């Protein structure tokens, strides 16, 4: 079946939820948050996503398996701003592309670059059917220009199939200039932690593959800062200490960031699970050919509660200057493009068990 497409405009969105398209068990519902931000609910028979079609094409909320997958934050609604931390609480954000991470004194770029809240002039809703079944998809197309230096096109896409509790996420970047484009990318996927869950992922649990970065405790009292530092040291001695989510034994205030060097399966995908006590799991897979690093970001402050199980990335989170100095910049030649691909969502017990077996086979000694 050829895809049927609809170009979305802000005029379609009002304060009242309105179903604007249906296909079999798939539907798209348009509305505006009280802050005025346009939102599109993509639903199937297993769950739903709320996407911001004109603001970064962020996935603001995700529900599958009867639960909210999204981190806890202080933001009940997205705000119409490009300030990263002034509207932070979404489930999935694209980060980059001219820079990414926390800017240092040597940097001038905003936190995590221009992509997280990039204004999209064009958003396209589509329905179709392929070898995997009927699907609903949302895409965008926006060119980003800085005179005499930068011109690229960003094309994100989300695809949700009928009967699926996971969904495909892509970001395609095309260099529109005659000179090579240096780029960085990170997909900030923010699950909610579940106490008693187990973290299972396709990387050996040793210091060569898992490294917890020193953290700046900011205004933490000395005893809490010391506890955080000791916990980071324990992860770097044996990464298995963080594998079972247990707030009584762990410290994630304000946050801990780890670099994980994943191994992939025969198809080139790495896999990560937060396996819940009932045997189901929150899940991410990503291609390591284009996204060679996985960052794990966990923040449990009492006000924020986030399990960045894996943030697939081209570089670490330390800004443009660090990436340049450490050989972590990627390059796109003139008129070339790169597609960055992930599968994200929730797995039932049976599928979780199969993925766990696959992970175990990837990391087994060879």
Distance CA 144, CA 151 (A): 6
Q: Where are the alpha helices (DSSP H) in the chain?
A: 222-237, 320-325, 349-363
Burial-class residue 324 by CB neighbours within 10 Å (0-12, 13-18, 19+). middle
Residue 186: closest CA among 347, 310, 44, 21? 310
Residue 236 maps to a domain? no
Mean pLDDT over 2-8 rounds to 89
SS3 assignment for 20-42:
EEEECCEEEEEEECCCCCEEEEE
Across residues 323-350, what is the average pLDDT?
Answer: 97
Residue with tokens 């079944």: 133
Residue at 73 is within a domain: yes
Other Cβ atoms closer than 10 A to 334: 11
Q: Tokens for 77?
A: 């609604």
Mean pLDDT across 283-308:
97
* Domain membership flag for residue 52: yes
DSSP string, 108-172: -SPTTBSSTTPBPSEEEEEEEEETTEEEEEEEEEEEEEETTTEEEEEEEEEEEETT-SEEEEEEE
Reported confidence tier of residue 122, pLDDT bands at 50, 70, 90: confident
E strand or H helix at 92, and its extent? Answer: strand 92-97
User: Is position 248 within any domain?
Assistant: no
Cβ–Cβ under 8 Å, residues 185 and 196: no
Residue 29 has pLDDT above 80, yes or no: yes
Cα dihedral: 80, 56, 308, 364 (round 10): 180
Indicate the pLDDT class of residue 89, thresholds 50, 70 and 90: very high
pLDDT of residue 123: 96
pLDDT, position 217: 72
Residue 192 has pLDDT above 90, yes or no: yes
Using alpha carbons, list the distances in angstroms from residue 155 to 14, 224, 331: 25, 43, 17
251 domain-assigned: no
Burial of 220 (0-12, 13-18, 19+ CB in 10 A): middle
The rounded mean pLDDT for the chain is 96
Examine residue 91 and state whether it is found in any structural domain, yes or no.
yes
- Give the mean model confidence (pLDDT) for residues 328-356: 98
Q: Which residues have a Cβ under 8 Å from the Cβ of 124 and sit 6 or more positions away?
A: 5, 6, 7, 8, 138, 139, 140, 141
- Check residue 1 and give its pLDDT: 62
With pLDDT > 70 as the criterion, what percentage of the chain qualifies?
99
Residue 219's pLDDT is what?
76
Selected residue with higher pLDDT from 232 and 1? 232
Total of domains in the chain: 1
**Which residues span the domain enclosing 357?**
4-195+258-361
Element (H, E) at 19: strand 18-23
- Is-above-0.95 flag for pTM? yes
pLDDT band at 95, cuts 50/70/90? very high
pLDDT of residue 215: 82
Q: Tell whether the model's pLDDT for residue 317 goes beyond 80.
A: yes
Tell me: the pLDDT tens digits for 31-48?
Answer: 999 999 999 999 999 999
Instruction: Give the whole-number percent of the chain exceeding pLDDT 90.
Output: 95
339 belongs to a structural domain: yes
**What gap in Å lies between CA 27 and CA 13, rounded to an integer?**
15
The CATH number that applies at residue 88 is 2.70.98.10
Residue 366 has pLDDT above 80, yes or no: no
Q: State mean pLDDT over 226-244.
A: 97
pLDDT at 108 over 70: yes
Whether the predicted pLDDT of 291 surpasses 90: yes
Q: Which SS3 state, helix, strand or coil, does residue 11 take?
A: helix
- pLDDT for the residue numbered 3: 82
Beginning with the edge strand found earlier in the chain, give each strand of the sheet holding 198-201 in spatial order.
Answer: 4-8, 122-130, 133-146, 150-161, 166-175, 337-347, 281-287, 269-275, 198-201
- Looking at the domain assignment, is residue 59 inside a domain? yes
Handedness of CA 281, 282, 287, 288 (dihedral sign): negative
Answer for the pair 116, 188: CB distance below 8 angstroms, yes or no.
yes
Q: Is the pLDDT of residue 147 over 70?
A: yes
Q: What is the average per-residue pLDDT within 300-307?
A: 96
């Amino acid at each position: 079946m050829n895809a049927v497409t609809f170009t979305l405009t802000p005029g379609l969105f009002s304060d009242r939820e309105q179903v604007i398209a249906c296909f079999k068990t798939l539907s798209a519902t348009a509305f505006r948050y009280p802050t005025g931000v346009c939102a599109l609910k993509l639903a199937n028979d297993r769950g739903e996503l709320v996407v911001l079609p004109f603001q970064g094409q962020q996935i603001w909320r995700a529900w599958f398996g009867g639960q909210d997958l999204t981190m806890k934050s202080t933001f009940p609604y997205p705000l119409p701003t490009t300030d990263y931390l002034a509207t932070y609480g979404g489930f999935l954000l694209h980060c980059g592309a001219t820079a990414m991470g926390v800017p240092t004194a040597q940097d001038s770029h905003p936190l995590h670059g221009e992509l997280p809240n990039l204004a999209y002039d064009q958003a396209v809703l589509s329905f179709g059917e392929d070898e995997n079944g009927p699907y609903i998809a949302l895409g965008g197309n926006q060119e980003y220009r800085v005179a005499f230096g930068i011109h690229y096109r960003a094309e994100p896409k989300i695809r949700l199939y009928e009967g699926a509790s996971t969904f495909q996420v892509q970001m395609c970047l095309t260099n529109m200039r005659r000179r090579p484009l240096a780029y960085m990318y990170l997909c900030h996927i923010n699950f909610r932690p579940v106490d008693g869950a187990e973290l299972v992922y396709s990387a050996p649990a040793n210091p060569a593959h898992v490294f917890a970065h020193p953290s700046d405790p900011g205004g933490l009292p000395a005893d809490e800062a010391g506890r955080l530092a000791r916990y980071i040291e324990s992860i770097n001695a044996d990464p298995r200490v963080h594998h079972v989510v247990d707030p009584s034994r762990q410290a994630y205030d304000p946050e801990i960031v780890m670099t994980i060097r994943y191994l992939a399966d025969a198809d080139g995908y790495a896999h990560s699970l937060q396996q819940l006590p009932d045997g189901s799991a929150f899940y991410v897979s990503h291609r390591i050919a284009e996204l060679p690093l996985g960052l794990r970001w966990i923040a449990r402050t009492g006000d924020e509660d986030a399990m960045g199980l894996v943030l697939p990335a081209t570089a670490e989170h330390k800004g443009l200057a660090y990436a340049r100095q450490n050989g972590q910049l990627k390059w796109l030649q003139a008129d070339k493009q790169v597609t960055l691909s992930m599968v994200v969502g929730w797995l039932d017990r049976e599928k979780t068990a199969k993925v766990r077996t696959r992970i175990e086979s990837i990391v087994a000694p060879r």
